[in-house]
Structure 1
Amino acid sequence: MKVVKVSYIILTLVAAYACIAPPVDFPSRPEISFNNLEYVETNQADSLIITVNFRDGEGDLGLNPRDIEPPFNELNYPRDQNGQLITYRNRPANAPSFNNRDWVISPLINNVRVNDTIWVQENPDYFNIFVRFFIKRSGQYTEFDWSAPPFFTTFNGRFPRILTDDRQRAVEGQIRYGMLSLGWNSIFRNDTIRLEVQIQDRQLQRSEPVVTPDFTLAQIRRSR
């Protein structure tokens, strides 16, 4: 995912482990279950790491860096009623204000450099792991929206292909997904939070969401 130049620099790290398994009772749609949560502090960005177990009947999980053609393209480009790209200068009333997520300067579109600031929309199918954050206060959960100011970002990401070829076979294993930030403590402090996670296969089938137990950063802190 992109590094956003705001107060909190955000990156992701992913590791996936799988074994080939008999196809008995393995679903076509991926299934996941919660495994573990860790919070690791370092001298630089701290890491919030979630591990989920997965099962899949075809093994079509994961995307490699070259998987960028539709439907896995990173960005979509809205157009006006005349089919023209929408520039910041000629933006409609419903367009967002300038930020590094919704606007791109001089993008390369269909191998042509467009020397302007262009409105873009993130393609959700570019990602294959999706993470939502919720803060618990007075017994109620409220989603923490990373796409809103001042962050304009997402913790959705990609994990690599589980299998190295396209032969279909059942797989199961673990995905360990690390989210790096300089701001975990300053954002959440002593808040009680939980995560909701889904994965998606290359047929664009999403798993049912898995919800973590409630936690604070202190409760899942791991010694370096």
Structure 2
Amino acid sequence: MTFNRNIYALLLAFFLLGCVSPPENFPSTPQISFEDISYVELDNASDSLIVSVRFQDAEGNLGLNAEDINPPFNPLEYQRDNSGALITYSNRPPEAPNFNPIDWEINPIVNNTPINDTIWVKQNPDFNNIFIKFYIKRDGVFSEFDWSDPPYYTTFNGRFPTILSDNNERAIEGTIQYSMLSSGWRAIFRNDTIRVDVQIQDRTLNKSDIVSSPEVTLNQILK
């Protein structure tokens, strides 16, 4: 079973409103509504779970590109001791976690300097702009299925690209379709009832409300 951590987002359609002043009902904080969830199985390739949300935003400052890696969009925060030195796995303090691919980075480049060691890191949530949580129904009650727990040590949070191609703020609305790739959807969820929660964030770090998919099984949304 393998999981693809290189999650990608597809912006299928968006409608731009070129307004000097945004409409009164367009919020400065992104506003979203749930639109669709579907599941696609492919031969000899990772299967895809796809969620779609409608959005509205007064400034249009939505999306991050590959070059957006400087603070506050840096992917990692490197942990240091009281002297300012990077914390390595061999010299980790008692409160440091055991090795896993989320909390430790092997041979990173820090401040343009290669570090030939394993360094304690914390994931920066603001590196992403779309946040996904999974819930699974057991005995009629939903509980979170946390992908960051063992044995998966992963996340389906990710990025969708910049929507406006210039720096002129204006109100926009449209649909974001976000595809999550994995070869393990069937192995994990089988015939279980699941729910997916979605939230997005703009470049000034304003978060939308959280919206939820309907309760579904993979078979119900298979395309």
TM-score by length of 2: 0.95
For 2:172, the equivalent position in structure 1 comes to 171
How many residues align structurally?
216
Supply the AA of the counterpart residue of 2:116. N
Query: Gapped runs of 5+ residues in structure 2?
Result: none
Shift of residue 12 of structure 1? 2.1
For 2:66, the equivalent position in structure 1 comes to 65
Contact 2:8–2:159 (CA<8 Å) still a contact in 1?
no
Alpha-carbon distance in structure 2 between the residues aligned to 1:190 and 1:20: 40
Shift of residue 153 of structure 1? 0.6
Shift of residue 39 of structure 1? 0.3
For 1:18, the equivalent position in structure 2 comes to 14
| 1:120 aligned counterpart, secondary structure | strand
Shift of residue 95 of structure 1? 1.1
For 1:41, the equivalent position in structure 2 comes to 41
| 1:219 aligned counterpart, secondary structure | helix
Alpha-carbon distance in structure 1 between the residues aligned to 2:148 and 2:81: 24
TM-score by length of 1: 0.94
For 2:53, the equivalent position in structure 1 comes to 52
Supply the AA of the counterpart residue of 1:164. S
Supply the AA of the counterpart residue of 1:27. P
Supply the AA of the counterpart residue of 1:99. N
1:113 aligns with 2:114: yes
Alpha-carbon distance in structure 2 between the residues aligned to 1:201 and 1:114: 32
1:211 aligns with 2:207: no
1:128 aligns with 2:132: no
Query: Gapped runs of 5+ residues in structure 1?
Result: 1-6
22-31 vs 171-180, greater mean Cα deviation? 22-31
1:183 aligns with 2:172: no
Alpha-carbon distance in structure 2 between the residues aligned to 1:172 and 1:42: 31
Shift of residue 84 of structure 1? 1.1
Deviations 1:147-193 (A, max 9, x none): 01111110000000010111110000000000000100000001100
Alpha-carbon distance in structure 2 between the residues aligned to 1:49 and 1:153: 18
User: Which contiguous aligned blocks of 4+ residues in structure 1 show a shift greater than 2 angstroms?
Assistant: none
Alpha-carbon distance in structure 2 between the residues aligned to 1:64 and 1:13: 12
Alpha-carbon distance in structure 1 between the residues aligned to 2:144 and 2:39: 20
Supply the AA of the counterpart residue of 2:8. L
Supply the AA of the counterpart residue of 2:198. V
For 1:200, the equivalent position in structure 2 comes to 201
For 1:158, the equivalent position in structure 2 comes to 159
13-22 vs 141-150, greater mean Cα deviation? 13-22
Deviations 1:1-51 (A, max 9, x none): xxxxxx322242311122212521200000000111110000121000001
Shift of residue 104 of structure 1? 1.2
Alpha-carbon distance in structure 2 between the residues aligned to 1:147 and 1:110: 27
| 2:53 aligned counterpart, secondary structure | strand
